[in-house]
Amino acid sequence: MTDYPDGTVVDGVTYHQHDVVIVGAGGAGMRAAIEAGPKANTAVISKLYPTRSHTGAAQGGMAAALANVEEDNWEWHTFDTVKGGDYLVDQDAAEILAKEAIDAIYDLENMGLPFNRTPEGKIDQRRFGGHTRDHGKSPVRRACYAADRTGHMILQTLYQNCVKHGITFFNEYYVLDLVMVEVDGQQRPAGVVAYELATGALHVFQGKSIVFATGGFGKIFKTTSNAHTLTGDGVGIIWRKGLPLEDMEFYQFHPTGLAGLGILLSEAARGEGAILRNSEGERFMERYAPTIKDLAPRDIVARCMATEIREGRGGGPNKDWVYLDITHLEPAVIDAKLPDITEFARTYLGVEPYTEPVPVLPTAHYAMGGIPTNVKAEVLSDNTTVVPGLYAAGECACVSVHGSNRLGTNSLLDINVFGKRAGNNAVEYALTAEFVPLPDDPAKGIRELVQMLRTTQGTERMSDMRKELQESMDRNAQVFRTEDSLIEVTKVIAGLRERYKNVMVQDKGKRFNTDLLEAIELGFLLDLAEVTVYSALYRKESRGGHFREDYPLRDDENYMKHTMAYLTGDAHSADAGDHIRLDTKPVVVTRYQPMERKY
């Protein structure tokens, strides 16, 4: 075991020491840094410049029962979260989310976030899908917002406050490995290994506490609202270290992605009164969800849209989309509250939303599953055992506060509530813990991987492989799934794993070698697509974002439990059955028993 002082360079590897090391500079990572930074030496490592993180793409709002516009309370918010998640939500976590939402909003306001205001000067609120008053009786205005740029405003506000606190950032450093060391019979995190994009050099960051806040992995799908960088690196690293992943079969498909592109049009549009229509001009959601219509939870709306298209009521030359209609709204309202949405429609589709309905289609949007944690944001090595000093928050984590279907506006809330908790608990641990000594040459595995990829004479183009994976996932594992379709995609992944051994990296250089990093990211995408599909095959029911046409009903008797996936062998084996073991974990139920989801 070795202990290198901060700044030591050995064999070209630079060593850093920080009390708290945060991987990811999106909303969750920076919210954690704001808590940890003033109390301990904190470093934030990000593969992007922080204000380019994907939190900035979130548009519609952040939920909190402020009751600024109409009557509301945190218990109704909890119920909506549990019901929206089709009762797979851990209800103790949902209660924390709803209770602490109010302080989370005021924290951001006090940091300087420019929320929209009511005429009286209070934070304005609008409707959003699945949010109701009095336990489901009618829609409620609960989403706090800054036009349709809420995520952008949150990201900028958090970054400015990190700068104010003097947080140390390492931008464009790709974390590729977590260093785990056995201490007293238990695996403990000692640090992370990162690749510096600008130079190709490796860095080891030793930390007493490690926080993962690396976001989602939507690029396993072709049609997605996720940015090109959302390849699940953090989740994949945890998976390869032998730690479990939870509820990976549950992926949310947002109803309103721009047709053919997947670029998101926020639910805020429907919150302001936009209507979904089929090719006949019918407001079809009235048939499926007569109470809250277009503001039903996202999984329900996405399936209704897909059903309309399947039954021949889609629009366009191939009848493969439906329409989002805001033509009945006043242009002044559109410009004030939905400026980005309308600009996207004009820019990418050439549609004028003032006068024309916008073609939309469900798009892969959000992972409900991920790295299992408890409500303290501590990572778990099984159903209950905490990995000391290891934390996760945001989309990469599974608390589980979203269950099988995340409620709209709860993602920006999640990163603030549990990002704050991760930061507080990580710094509390770090203030009394010692550094776990690093093993000799902790960067050896990554150095060998990078060298192998840089010198490989492979012939398989990674772009072709990535395209084949994403198209197969779209075709076989999207809104509707069957056993046959899921088996088909497992065969595709097995073939791609074999081809990946012969992957071609054309750029042999060190500086800004994105070609090499995309090859590494493809490995993570293959891992995460495989565990997603394998978990989906196991769950022989339909619940939330996971809809099995061969098992169309929810089965509480057999599947009212979380799926826990474990890597048991070689992650690069061609057969998932050789290296994936599935187990279950009980759902925490406090006050709301499962009932039929009627809207």
d(CA 518, CA 470): 15
Is 27 annotated for ligand binding? yes
Is 59 annotated for ligand binding? yes
Is 542 annotated for ligand binding? no
φ and ψ at residue 28, rounded to 5 degrees: -65, -45
d(CA 48, CA 314): 38
Q: Tell me, letter by letter, the H, E, C secondary structure of 246-312.
A: ECCCCEEEEEEEECCCCCECCCHHHHCCCEEECCCCCCCHHHHCCCCHHHCCHHHHHHHHHHHHHCC
Q: Are 453 and 174 in contact (CB under 8 A)?
A: no
Is 225 annotated for ligand binding? no
b/e burial code for range 551-583 (CB count within 10 A of at least 16 → b): beebebeebbebbbbbbeeebeeeebeebbebe
The residue from 133, 142, 149, 298 that is catalytic is 298
Q: Are 414 and 29 in contact (CB under 8 A)?
A: no
Count of Cβ atoms closer than 10 Å to residue 335 Cβ: 12
Is 58 annotated for ligand binding? yes
Q: Is residue 511 among the annotated active site residues?
A: no
Q: What's the CA angle centered on 322, arms 318 and 323, to 5 degrees?
A: 125
Q: Are 244 and 566 in contact (CB under 8 A)?
A: yes
Which residue has 């609120």 as its token pair? 125
Q: Are 307 and 362 in contact (CB under 8 A)?
A: no
Is 25 annotated for ligand binding? yes
Is 508 annotated for ligand binding? no
DSSP code at position 578: G
What residues have CB less than 8 Å from 184, skipping those under 6 apart? Answer: none
Is 29 annotated for ligand binding? yes
Is 61 annotated for ligand binding? yes
Is 412 annotated for ligand binding? yes
- For the chain, counts of helices (H) and of strands (E): 16, 23
φ and ψ at residue 544, rounded to 5 degrees: 55, -130
Is 57 annotated for ligand binding? yes
Is 60 annotated for ligand binding? yes
What's the token pair of residue 122? 């209070």
Is 51 annotated for ligand binding? yes
Is 147 annotated for ligand binding? no
Is 521 annotated for ligand binding? no
Is 53 annotated for ligand binding? yes
Is 572 annotated for ligand binding? no
For 295-381, strand residue ranges (E) read: 322-325, 358-367, 371-372, 378-380
d(CA 151, CA 415): 11
For 458-511, strand residue ranges (E) read: 460-461, 503-504
Is 24 annotated for ligand binding? yes
192 pairs with which residues across the strands?
A: 178, 205
For 326-448, strand residue ranges (E) read: 358-367, 371-372, 378-380, 386-392, 397-398
What's the token pair of residue 162? 């990190």
Is 46 annotated for ligand binding? yes
Is 56 annotated for ligand binding? yes
Is 254 annotated for ligand binding? yes
φ and ψ at residue 51, rounded to 5 degrees: -75, 0
Is 26 annotated for ligand binding? yes
Residues making up the binding site? 24-29, 46-61, 233, 254, 266, 365, 395, 406, 411-412
Report, as residue numbers or ranges, the catalytic residues: 298
| Binding-site residues from annotation for substrate | 254, 266, 365, 406
Binding residues for FAD: 24-29, 46-61, 233, 395, 411-412
